[in-house]
Amino acid sequence: MFNITEPIIGLVDIAFIGQMGEDSTIAQGGVGLAVGLISTLIWGFAQMRTSLSSIISRHFGQNNLARIFTLIPQTILLTLLIGIIIALITAVFYNPIANWMFGNISAKTFEFSNDYFIIRSVGLPISLLIALFFGIFRGYQNTSWAMVISLIGGGVNVILDMLLINGISGYIIAMGVSGAAIASVISQLVMLILCVYFLYKKTPFNLKIRRKLNPLFNEMILIFWNMFLRTIVLNIVFIMANRYANKNGEIQLAAYTIAYNIWIFSSFFIDGFSNAGNALAGKYLGANDKTTLKVLAYKLLRINILISLILCALYTILYPFIGKLFNNNMLVISYFNATFWLIIISQPFNSIAFTFDGIFKGLGMAVLLRNTLLIGTIFIFIPSLLILDYIGLGLSAIWLSMILWMIFRGGVLLWNFRKI
């Protein structure tokens, strides 16, 4: 569920900011860049949840959870320290980081982006901890707790966005972009408190730190390292996409920001269902039940393809209206409508890739996932983007390259699963 929590927070912020009035288009583009960087950092460093979840689910299948009791608080402490370090570095050096990631940014766009990011950076350690807690719950074979927490956090974010961005005359000062960022951090804090409550109330785990490292700590770090490298490559794709969108100007950047956040939400909505495969695959591996693992994978694939087709139908029906929900500028909406069909047709390909991505995460096969992404990025995405942009396809070059990249990822993982 964490996979869609962060995209929803960013999507809601961008939607409310797009209706802000003065400078809403520029603000939307600037916030979109900041949201992109935040997502990049979280997805990269939140991979600790994948490695921990894989180990928990395997020991759940072996009925031997006592062996990992001390691993939980040690991993939580490590994640907190990493989050604090990343937040401090990115907040202090946001200017050079933003220029490196996004290319030349207008002064006004950077101002909005900086205002939003500096406040949201406070929530980076909180986001990483939430991701880890959700990984713990998933490894313990329960995803409903994460769903409840996410729904509450999302509701808090929507209410606070409504109150803080435009304010209430005579009661609350309109805070604009800063209000959106504050709303997001508060909603994350609420979710973290709920995570701790569920950990103590519903699981046998606790937060008591032991000085002696758990014997499985090194294995967890190794899986994390491979998944981290994989995510770094993944984020190179998003950084390049942001840079190419930004170079087309503020109008096209705003249009890309809307489409990007819908693509992210859709992709990780599907990936959220794949997390069931992540948890169960580790459990069946621990129980050495390969037959049930095979049945699980193909059943999950059918479900995810169905979900992707429902999203395709929903987006097609709402095509004339979606852009207007995020921005009132007709030129922005025009650019968005010209490329949104590519986001629609990408959904089935995403469903295949994310299904087997989740399965292999649960199996702890981080090296395969890392290599697949690396090869796909170097030999599929980058050449496609360079060629299609060169021939003048603009924003469409980004989305066509993304689709080819996802087709490669899904095809390779499906082939490897059939082989094993």
- Whether residue 25 contacts residue 251, with contact meaning beta carbons closer than 8 Å, is answered with yes
Mean pLDDT of 357-379: 86
Mean pLDDT of 92-98: 87
pLDDT value for 12: 75
Residue 299 clears pLDDT 80, i.e. is over it: yes
Residue with tokens 């995020």: 326
pLDDT value for 1: 52
Residue 160 clears pLDDT 70, i.e. is over it: yes
173-218 per-position pLDDT tens digit: 878 888 889 999 999 999 999 999 999 999 999 999 988 999 999 9
Mean pLDDT of 9-30: 73
Residue with tokens 């209206």: 321
Under the banding of pLDDT at 50, 70 and 90, the label for residue 41 is: confident
181-193 per-position pLDDT tens digit: 999 999 999 999 9
Asked whether the CA dihedral 37, 228, 148, 72 is positive or negative, the reply is negative
Q: Which amino acid is at 116?
A: Y
- Whether residue 364 contacts residue 222, with contact meaning beta carbons closer than 8 Å, is answered with no
**What are the sequence ranges of the domains in the chain?**
2-419
Mean pLDDT of 83-110: 85
pLDDT value for 176: 82
CB-count burial class (<10 Å; 0-12, 13-18, 19+) for 218: exposed
376-395 per-position pLDDT tens digit: 999 999 999 999 999 989 89
Q: State pTM to two decimals.
A: 0.75
Under the banding of pLDDT at 50, 70 and 90, the label for residue 86 is: very high
